[in-house]
Amino acid sequence: MNYQDLQIDWLKCFVAVVDAGSLSGAAPEVHRSQSAVSMQLKKLEAALNCQLLRRGPRQHQLTPQGQLLLGYARRMLDLHAETQAAFHGQELTGQIRLGVPDDHAARYLTPVLKRFAQHHGSVEIELNCEQSTALIPRVEKGELDLALVSRDHPRHGTLLFHEPLVWVGSAQFQTWRRDPLPIAVYESTSLAKRSAINSLALQGRRYKVVYNSSSLAGQLAAVESGLAIAVLTQCSAPAHLETLGAEHGLGPLEPMEVAVYRSRASQASAAVDRLHSLLIQTLRQSSAT
């Protein structure tokens, strides 16, 4: 039986739509019009004789066949890029200005950078650790090329996964028994602070903010000293602190959307292209396991 060959351009458009969530978002990534991207997807679906994407209320959703193709497509595009570089001497060079909150750096960024450095050791990476609320404006201004951020709006980059938030406290001090409840928070615009306040308000529980710090180390210091309890991302909550819940009189917390956000000024950088793709590929796969 004869099968139609899959074209690299079709696969590029397919992956771009998945990463951007929409045809309009994918079009500038592949330097095509929205209608041209749509046509490429139709050709790919015709070649495979199946539907790959469904239009959802807010973005395109993968069908089971689309989910199956995605892993193959990323691998084929990576191999295509490596082949081009091997024959045309396109070793990646330059600098990438990358931002990440410190509570995501070790858990999520380390494996990505390790893999990137193995293949692209000539690229210099400048790492900036700040809260997402500070990183997003810096990407928009072009001061950073990429940022791994916790977002509160779908326009902020490509969604990677949902990160749970947890209440933490010190078992030694049992600070959660106090009334009003003392809490440590990040800056005023922090999504973690907003989630904490909303949860306590829904319970009608009295609280007072006794500690502010924009760093993870500062939050941990407040909890470990018995000064307050805090809301942390699950990935950053250390094992020696107690995870708190309903049995401690605390309600559930809304998870955060973690996304990779890219500046418009970096669109011409092949090095940023590669790291951006690797962040999406690695973190979407790891969050699914």
DSSP structure string for 126-186: EEEE--HHHHHHHHHTTS-SEEEEEESSTTSSEEEEEE-EEEEE-TTT-GGGSSSEEEEE-
Residue boundaries of the structural domains of the chain: 8-86, 93-155+257-287, 165-254
Tokens of 201: 């308000």
Report the CATH architecture of 93-155+257-287. 3-Layer(aba) Sandwich (3.40)
202: tokens are: 């829904």
pLDDT digits (tens, 9 = 90+) for 187-223: 878 889 999 999 999 999 999 999 998 889 999 999 9
Q: What is the pLDDT of residues 56-109, one digit of tens each?
A: 766 788 999 999 999 899 889 888 877 877 776 667 889 999 999 988 988 899
CATH of segment(s) 8-86: 1.10.10.10
The continuous run of DSSP H or E covering 204 comes out as: none
The predicted structure's pLDDT at residue 288: 45
What is the side-by-side order of every strand in the sheet holding 158-163?
123-129, 94-100, 146-151, 256-262, 158-163
H or E segment at 76?
A: helix 64-88
Which region among 101-110, 123-132, 138-147 has the lowest average model confidence (pLDDT)?
Answer: 101-110
In contact, 262 and 136? CB cutoff 8 Å: no
* Beta strands in 186-264, from DSSP E residues, in sequence order: 207-212, 229-233, 242-244, 256-262
Query: Would you say domain 165-254 falls under CATH 3.40.50.720?
Result: no
pLDDT at 89 (0 to 100): 61
At 285, the pLDDT band (50, 70, 90 cuts) reads low
**Residue 286 binned pLDDT confidence (cut-offs 50, 70, 90):** low
Predicted TM-score (pTM) of this structure: 0.69
Fold match between 8-86 and 93-155+257-287? Answer: no
